Structure 1
Amino acid sequence: MTAIKSISGRRVWDSRGHPTVEVDVILKNGTLGRAIAPAGASRGTREAIDLRDGGDRLQGKGIDKALASVNGPIASALVGRDVNDQLGADTAILELDPSPLKETLGGNATVATSLALLHAAAANAGAPLWKHVADKYGCTPSLPLPEIQIFGGGAHAGRRVDIQDFMIMVPGAKTFDEVMEITNEVYFAAGDIMASRGNLAGVADEGGWWPVFKSNEEALETLVQAIEKAGEKPGENVVISLDIAASEFGKDGTYRLALEDRDMDSGQMIDMLGGWLDAYPIASIEDPLGEDDKAGMIEFTRRFGDRVQIIGDDYLVTSAALVEEAIADQACNAVLIKVNQIGTISEAVDTFRAAQKAGWGTIVSARSGETEDASISHLSTGLGGRQLKVGSFQRSERMVKWNECLRIQDALGQGSFAAGQSLANTWWGKANDKDKSE
């Protein structure tokens, strides 16, 4: 047994300049594990709540209460425990906070502590975090396929466009290096196109270009143009991925596209997105309907689940119970894994396993408020999650995670990359071939 000597929290700052929680776990043999809690701007109503101080100071986002949770009850419950018993430690944390959304201790306090414990155990074993995760949970490590933002939107860009993320994936790449090179070309091609139109206006929260478009669909058209300008054929090596984040502009089955000044019901929303799937090489779509629109998610999956990857984020909030429910309902076919959304590593792994058992896609994800912590690069690799969503190809809190994957690739070998995934919109290819023959 390697016992925990001390647990302490400190205030650090995230990519939006807001305070967040960093936790140090020190073992009796002197080994250190450290992790930082991220924070989301677009948040599901059922996800773990960051404990903030409120009031006028620091825009109400102070974390003294969360630090008190770490330095007080959490430390008292965990000091002396075996650091290798991740489940036991996470269970002890959960027993301290019976609230459903971790509002007593704060999800920011619990996730930073849980991740720091995992880091300490890996360091104590003398193993990189990805290998420790793979060994601990009996997984085959695999370097993930990136999902990378080109245009930001929604809550990440002042709601300048309604859709939150316009991204690309390169499932045709043979190595992680190749993905990075192609993404570089597409990203800067998109910037050049916007500059030529006089629309280059900086970057959004996650590093994607700030969206200066007259409609949501204009962003899709521009993204296709950027892929072509980069020398790629849309829908072959390079495909589009969207995060609609529909809960941000939809409620009770009504969706308000502010940019286009129109309202839609659930059926009209599904039809609009279906038209996009026909018209553009979209291979993955996240939260196409709101978290409260269960019937809409089931119908969208019924109509398009055999054509594209349909990811639940706000709809599933990294909850194993909600994933099991969605599997039974046949709503979604993939889940986004955000550790801070559920609050502990053990709960996130349970969700990952539930989805994987059903044959679903599993995408480990960052948040819009990020830091230099690269834990998710290791977590995705160690679990063999096969996809990783970090943000864009700019800003150091994003690039630190992509660059960590390149280092992991050197250790694992290029053959470990999750290449050749079946992420393609085959209908789009057929529809375009038909158009050309007519």
Structure 2
Amino acid sequence: MSIDSQIARLQALEILDSRGNPTLSVTVTLTDGNSATASVPSGASTGLHEAVELRDDDRNRYGGKGVRRAAAHVEGEIADALMGLDARAQSDIDHVMIALDGTDTKGRLGGNAILGVSIAVARASALAQGRPLYRSLNDADDYLLPVPCMNVLNGGKHADSSLDFQEFMIVPHGAPGFAEAVRYGAETYAALRSLLHDRGLATSVGDEGGFAPRLDSNEAACELIVAAIERAGYRPGVDIAIALDPAASSFAEGESYHLSRSRTRRLDRAALLALYGRWIDAYPIVSIEDGFGEEDWAGFIDQTADQGDRIQIVGDDLFVTNPRIIREGIARHAANAALIKPNQIGTVTETIEAVRICQQAGWGTMVSHRSGETADDFIADFAVAMGAGQIKSGAPCRGERLAKYNRLIAIEAELGDRARMAAPFARYVERRA
């Protein structure tokens, strides 16, 4: 153990996220005087089995959403347990916190408290080693940069729009590198804004920076994106594809799905699967996330069997970055990719485990932000360190979203020839061509 890299102090501060709700900022100070800070995001569309965000439930402050109790746990029980431990021992520190909390969902101390400490420790470890964070997490000869998946049209719980589906994303997978992928995406986003303006539609944005217009149907969103790709001078499907996150749990009602915003109708599982099939035929879709509700395992299994050789099928609310549930999903062939959100599981160590389980099974991994974000760019370094291959951080708009993309641009420049970007969807595009 290095004396210089021991944890000397933990501090927590109640700050605001991108929706104006309270969240935690945690600072770890080492015995050498170096300190590192992390801030914790928050989701609007959350899975039932996610790590618990501990809130104060004091209606006189922030409508009960304050996080003073979580902050007190950081500076109290957690600090007492971690004081003097080597910040470079990430797994040991994370498991001390897991055991200290003693619940399956980190509900006693708060997943927000534990994650804030875990990420701050990871940053402090990088400082102690004199390395960039991505290299501290994984010292490699070269690194895979993620393809950005940019949410450009918002619906569902992320916007007051006419869209039932939560996210319509553009995926510039044909770009030769990350900075160029961001350029492809930003130019298409600008073209989409222009199209909306020309049609007299709103260009206000939702939680993740995507536009939130009143459209006639969910299908109209895909048609607009194809038109925007073409207006920007790119080839739909080849240069830029479409990814969807319906977030179907938000419109699941019992064993049916109620698409009430754009067209009032109820679909059973088979009808919703058929709808996705028609869309895959009609539009350059390469990925669908949470196409069925989080408790509808049969829907995911059916979709993987029926469409898994044509598109990436991603589980988010279904798996909640939980290694145990991901293993079950692999055994049941319930998807071929998982969304990776550190705050769903609550520690860096468990998030790494979730990624590695997917990779060993040949599954795709998409590292993700949350709708309530901060300027913290941890997930950018994490995606590079893990070779995740994909990242979604919202539209090329709003500072808390751009912080992640800009950090990845900087990492690419820093790595030079040691950085590469590979299209994770190439096999689907080739099969459909």
Q: TM-score, normalised by structure 2?
A: 0.96
CA contact (8 A) 2:143 2:418 kept: no
1:177 Cα deviation (Å)?
1.7
Measure, in 2, the Cα distance between the counterparts of 1:427 and 1:279: 16
1:188 Cα deviation (Å)?
1.0
Equivalence for 1:12: 15
Are 2:367 and 1:364 equivalent residues in the alignment?
yes
Alignment of 1:204-223 (within 5 A): 204-223=206-225
Measure, in 1, the Cα distance between the counterparts of 2:254 and 2:353: 30
2:289 pairs with one of 286, 290, 293: 286
1:353 pairs with one of 327, 351, 356: 356
Q: How many residues align?
A: 428
Equivalence for 1:436: none
1:254 Cα deviation (Å)?
1.1
CA contact (8 A) 1:252 1:292 kept: no
Measure, in 2, the Cα distance between the counterparts of 1:149 and 1:39: 17
Measure, in 2, the Cα distance between the counterparts of 1:103 and 1:73: 14
1:73 pairs with one of 74, 77, 95: 77
CA contact (8 A) 2:141 2:418 kept: no
Deviations 1:278-319 (A, max 9, x none): 110000110111110011110000001111111110010001
1:234 pairs with one of 231, 236, 248: 236
CA contact (8 A) 2:286 2:425 kept: no
Aligned AA (1:129): L
Equivalence for 2:66: 62
Across the aligned residues of Structure 1 and Structure 2, the Cα RMSD in angstroms comes to: 1.5
CA contact (8 A) 1:147 1:168 kept: yes
Measure, in 1, the Cα distance between the counterparts of 2:131 and 2:147: 23
Equivalence for 2:254: 252
1:422 Cα deviation (Å)?
3.3
1:119 Cα deviation (Å)?
0.3
Are 2:92 and 1:88 equivalent residues in the alignment?
yes
Q: Counterpart of 2:272 in 1: which secondary structure?
A: helix
1:312 pairs with one of 312, 315, 329: 315
Measure, in 1, the Cα distance between the counterparts of 2:103 and 2:212: 38
Aligned AA (1:106): G
Deviations 1:175-228 (A, max 9, x none): 112111111111011111111111124111010111321111111111111111
Q: Counterpart of 1:161 in 2: which secondary structure?
A: coil
Q: Counterpart of 1:421 in 2: which secondary structure?
A: coil
Measure, in 2, the Cα distance between the counterparts of 1:418 and 1:178: 11
Equivalence for 1:105: 109
Deviations 1:12-69 (A, max 9, x none): 1111111110111011111112101100001001101111111322121101111111
Q: Counterpart of 2:143 in 1: which secondary structure?
A: coil
Equivalence for 2:154: 152
Equivalence for 1:406: 409
1:428 Cα deviation (Å)?
8.6
Equivalence for 2:325: 322
1:143 Cα deviation (Å)?
1.5
1:106 Cα deviation (Å)?
0.9
CA contact (8 A) 1:235 1:281 kept: yes
CA contact (8 A) 1:252 1:293 kept: no
Aligned AA (2:374): T
CA contact (8 A) 2:248 2:290 kept: yes
CA contact (8 A) 1:9 1:67 kept: yes
Q: Counterpart of 2:230 in 1: which secondary structure?
A: helix
Gaps of 5+ in 1: 431-438
CA contact (8 A) 1:4 1:78 kept: yes
CA contact (8 A) 2:111 2:345 kept: yes
Q: Counterpart of 2:394 in 1: which secondary structure?
A: strand
Q: In 2 relative to 1, CA 389–159 (structure 1 residues): closer, same or farther, beyond 3 Å?
A: same
Q: In 2 relative to 1, CA 64–336 (structure 1 residues): closer, same or farther, beyond 3 Å?
A: same
Measure, in 2, the Cα distance between the counterparts of 1:211 and 1:48: 33
CA contact (8 A) 1:23 1:116 kept: yes
Higher alpha-carbon deviation: 270-279 or 151-160: 151-160
Equivalence for 1:130: 134
Gaps of 5+ in 2: none
Q: Which runs of 4+ in 1 moved over 3 A?
A: 420-430
CA contact (8 A) 1:23 1:113 kept: yes
Measure, in 2, the Cα distance between the counterparts of 1:285 and 1:415: 31
Q: Counterpart of 1:417 in 2: which secondary structure?
A: strand
Q: Counterpart of 1:263 in 2: which secondary structure?
A: strand
User: Alignment identity in percent?
Assistant: 42
CA contact (8 A) 2:312 2:425 kept: no
CA contact (8 A) 1:167 1:240 kept: yes
Q: In 2 relative to 1, CA 414–149 (structure 1 residues): closer, same or farther, beyond 3 Å?
A: farther
Q: In 2 relative to 1, CA 130–99 (structure 1 residues): closer, same or farther, beyond 3 Å?
A: same
2:124 pairs with one of 120, 131, 135: 120
CA contact (8 A) 1:239 1:424 kept: no
Q: In 2 relative to 1, CA 10–166 (structure 1 residues): closer, same or farther, beyond 3 Å?
A: same
Measure, in 2, the Cα distance between the counterparts of 1:73 and 1:279: 55
Q: In 2 relative to 1, CA 353–429 (structure 1 residues): closer, same or farther, beyond 3 Å?
A: closer
Aligned AA (2:213): P
Equivalence for 1:169: 171
Measure, in 2, the Cα distance between the counterparts of 1:253 and 1:207: 32
CA contact (8 A) 2:313 2:335 kept: yes
1:426 Cα deviation (Å)?
3.7
Measure, in 2, the Cα distance between the counterparts of 1:29 and 1:240: 48
Aligned AA (2:246): I
Q: Counterpart of 2:150 in 1: which secondary structure?
A: strand
Measure, in 1, the Cα distance between the counterparts of 2:182 and 2:119: 27
Q: Counterpart of 2:237 in 1: which secondary structure?
A: coil
1:126 Cα deviation (Å)?
0.8
Measure, in 2, the Cα distance between the counterparts of 1:47 and 1:226: 36
Aligned AA (2:252): G
Measure, in 2, the Cα distance between the counterparts of 1:29 and 1:139: 29
